[in-house]
Amino acid sequence: MQVAITCRHGEIPQETREHITQKAEKLLNYFERVTAISVTVDFEGDRVTTEIIVDAEHKHDFVARDTSDELKPTFDRALRKMEQQIRKYKEKLQDHRRDKPLAKLGESTDEQPADEQPADEQPANE
């Protein structure tokens, strides 16, 4: 999987690109079904906006955005937001309930058919 880094209105140094790539690839530790990661850095005057878009299979895109004065802290905060979104989604996918499924509740062994009666309960007309 490759991380696509796009820059608008400026340039990103090579060491910063490597930092972004390494950190973004760690998102795979949280969710294995990631198909693409796109990082867009927008320089507007003295402000930097970082947007991370993660495309996961069977799910819409996850988007995280942050704006600040410096690139690395802005990227790190956006990445933290992305990690939270992915963790929350993954928690929703997992079933943490330990009780029986609803289909199994009707098939309990305690129930007896209506035509059988216990031996100690005899009909009143005998």
Using DSSP, state whether 53 is helix, strand or coil: strand
In a domain, 123, yes or no: no
Residue 46's domain spans which residues? 3-93
Pairing of strands 47-56, 34-44: antiparallel
Answer yes or no: is 109 within a domain.
Answer: no
78 found inside a domain: yes
Task: Decide if 100 is inside a domain.
Answer: no
Whole-model pTM: value is: 0.69
Q: Which residues pair with 64 in a beta bridge?
A: 52
pLDDT tens-digit series, residues 41-94: 999 989 999 999 988 877 778 899 999 999 999 999 999 999 998 888 888 777
In a domain, 113, yes or no: no
Distance CA 50, CA 76 (A): 9
What distance in Å separates the CA atoms of residue 111 and residue 101, rounded to the nearest whole number? 17
Q: How many domains are contained in the chain?
A: 1
CATH code assigned at 46: 3.30.160.100
